[in-house]
Chain A
Amino acid sequence: MLFNSFVFLFAVPAHRSRLALIVVASYVFYAYAKWWFALLMAASTLVGFVGGQLIEQTRARRRRKVVLGLTVALLLALLGAFKYAAFVGGNLTSFVGVITSHGFPGLHAFLNGIVLPIGISFYTFEGISYAADVFRGKLPAERNLLRYAFFISFFPHLIAGPIVRYGILQPQLLRKHRFDADRIRSGLLLFALGLAKKTLVADGFATWVNRYLDDPASLHAFEAWAAIVGFGFQIYFDFSAYSDMALGLARIFGIELPWNFNRPYRASSPIEFWRRWHVTLSTWLRDYLYIPLGGNRKGERRRDANLLATMGLGGLWHGASLNFVVWGLYQGFLLLATHRLRKLAVRVPPVVAVGLTFVVVMFGWVFFRLHSAAAIGHALRALAFGHGLGQVPGHLVLLIVAASAYTAVVPEEWTWDLKSFGFARVATVGALLAVAVSSIYTSHPFIYFRF
């Protein structure tokens, strides 16, 4: 069930202060898609909870490492089985099939039949961060299963993040909450702004972008650039809208979730971009992958290798498909190139730096949006003027200009002081909410819902 669906809007229960009710509601919310998704989440919850306890109870460091390794392996096994088995198995059988001339149609059909449980990438990463934090002594292991179950299942962040760490959530779970109309209003306002951003802006982009990128072979240079920049804005408004809705919903329930976006296209370097884009993922990758791999502590070459490995795996996290790996590696390459340029003390004016970062980041979306090598090839040729200039797609360019101006001037919605909104602004957002709800009929699914 997505936040931009009518069932969610009508069926979501009223404010509940008790954890148990929220956990039950979250499981019902999750099981609405498929009942066994809830069982899978319960299994992941138990693995993380028991793993945390065992890590804390084990004294010897080496043994603790083994317990941590086992916990992480079990969590990743669930993710691997449902997210990557079809990808790995499919590629292997195809490879073996080429050599042995056997097609393995039964195995292919089985692998293709595996359904990806929504949100599994997010709650697996949350479980891993919890186990690692307990191992590092940053957190005491949670002894209350209900609180841990809340951490994993809390429905606002369950499906598409933000990726929450237990250290942020635990103190809030220990606090007692009272009915607070201001807080609820603020949460509702943020939710409404997110829904409006999704249904009115992101979906507006989607209509035009899909028209062009669904048939990359027919693209010319102007259309290709407009479509790929349009997709950059689409995915940004789409995902940041989901994050705003998640933050707003959580606030209604008295929980403050970490923010995920801060106008990433204002970044003046790829490094800064990743400090503004999907921040809960990028910091997770930094803390639980890049630094354990050695980070920048073991020389430049090792740092570069670590960056590429981290970003490549980060790309793979987005989806079991090679194009995501290529996208991740491309981002890794941008990061290490930035490090090298900084070392050379290359200085460019801030406006130029922002413009260059914008272009290279937007170019990277080709590998994210298009999945087949042929489609990517067509798009790259078109972007490189290989198919001629073509016509300027006026509607899409207009949308891009408006979105660029808005994001350049207006700060991210979650930073707005919503509690100080007066009657006029509250009524305006109420009207926006009504328009957004009425647009759900033609809404596109959230992009990050697939991951």
Chain B
Amino acid sequence: MARLLVLLGTAAVLLGANAALNWWVDPFGEFWKPAAVREARDSQPPCLVSHEVIGGEYLPFKLDVFRARPTRTFVIGSSRVLKIGAWPGERTFANLGMPVISPEIVLRELRALPKSTPRQTMYLGVEAFWLNPSFKGFDVAPGFETRARYVLSRSAFGESLRILRRAPYVLLHRWHKERVGTSCVVGRSRPALAWRLDGSRVWSFELDPKTYHPAIDPFTTDLHKLRTGIYADWHELSAQRIRSLEQVLAFARARGWTVVGFTPPDGARYLRFFASNAVIGPRWRAFAALMPELFRRYGYRWLDFRDAGSIPCRQSDFVDGGYHTDAACSMRMRRRLDQAALKARKT
């Protein structure tokens, strides 16, 4: 019996230690750490929060952003809206977007907002690929098994050890304030990609241009990635996704919110690709035709930003050559959205 206990005990102690270390270091950001965000918020002047600390916990982070501010206007959508931020000094704006989001996740996020909030203005960034039935959104609420796998996993343990080698202080403090370029960032060891406290994203090369550079894609595989990734097997507009989008609009209307819908812009290469692709092209055009009508049905406006020139943005405003816009282009988008919202409120 004693040896049986030794067998089970050894395994349990080692697995427990592995799990404890992985939970503490949390190398891939799988656990929500509100205290880190609080520390950034309480700093004078407020700090940014490193992506290492947020990781995949977008939903609780964005909900926290919303609650912590007197939010009246927010933008929600995919990673392509993440550069839309507050105007200098503006405290009533929040960016609730997150990467690999889907209409179902948008609805889930909206339903999780406090019920007693004042009337909101929502800028809803709709992606064409949302209407691809094969596209799957990010798992914003991983279950027990996923978390157990994570804390017990050897690969997470290896990454935890790598982080500890780089930043031994993590063993005592899970994060700390660092200066990156001219900004203060709450993070650890590699506080490059970061989040502002309004929920918008800051690229590493914006934080510290001397150390980091825009990751310029050599443009050899990006269109292939579109074809085989988020736009793969797109043969019809997903009725289910359209229903989910309508649920989002119905939810906003029930709350008396002002909504402006838009689709984020694409670079010229991407536009040519979408227009010429025999499979994606027709769906992409059908999406563009459907959206204004869908939003109008709920009494909302739609801004078609697919062509960046209409914002106006230049080709050089796409930091990766076609997909993500820089801050200035995103804020010009914000101005157009603000104007549309103002008109909508007046009417």
Contacts and interface: CB of A to CB of B under 8 A. Distances in A.
Does A pair with B?
yes
Interface of A: 6-7, 10, 181, 184-185, 188-189, 192, 421-423, 426-427, 429-431, 433-435, 437-442
B214 interface: no
Contacts of A10: 148
B148 A6 contact: yes
24 contacts: A181-B4, A185-B3, A185-B4, A188-B4, A188-B7, A192-B11, A421-B3, A426-B10, A427-B6, A430-B7, A430-B8, A431-B10, A431-B14, A433-B7, A434-B10, A434-B14, A434-B18, A437-B11, A438-B15, A438-B18, A438-B154, A440-B153, A441-B152, A442-B154
Contact of B153 (A185, A189, A427, A442): A442
B15 A434 contact: yes
Given A10-B148, A430-B11, A438 B6 contact: no
B220 to A, nearest CB: 19
A9 to B, nearest CB: 9
Nearest to B9: A430
B154 A439 contact: yes
B77 to A, nearest CB: 32
A101 to B, nearest CB: 25
A250 to B, nearest CB: 17
A319 B120 CA distance: 59
Contacts of B216: none
Chain B binding surface SS class: helix
Contact of A184 (B4, B14, B18, B156): B4
Nearest to A424: B6
Interface residues of B, number: 24
A322 to B, nearest CB: 29
A422 B11 CA distance: 16
A429 B4 CA distance: 11
A6 B145 contact: yes
B1 interface: yes
Contact of B11 (A431, A439, A441, A442): A431
A7 B150 CA distance: 14
B172 to A, nearest CB: 24
A147 to B, nearest CB: 29
A6 B143 CA distance: 13
B1 A181 contact: yes
Which residue, of A429, A430, A435, has the highest number of chain B Cβ atoms within 10 A?
A430
Nearest to B2: A423
A450 to B, nearest CB: 22
A400 B147 CA distance: 34
A439 to B, nearest CB: 5
B10 A430 contact: yes
Nearest to A7: B145
Contact of A433 (B2, B11, B148, B156): B11
A185 B15 CA distance: 19
Shortest 3 CB-CB distances between A and B: which pairs? A430-B10, A441-B153, A434-B14
A10 B19 CA distance: 15
A434 B217 CA distance: 41
B7 A426 contact: yes
A95 B66 CA distance: 63
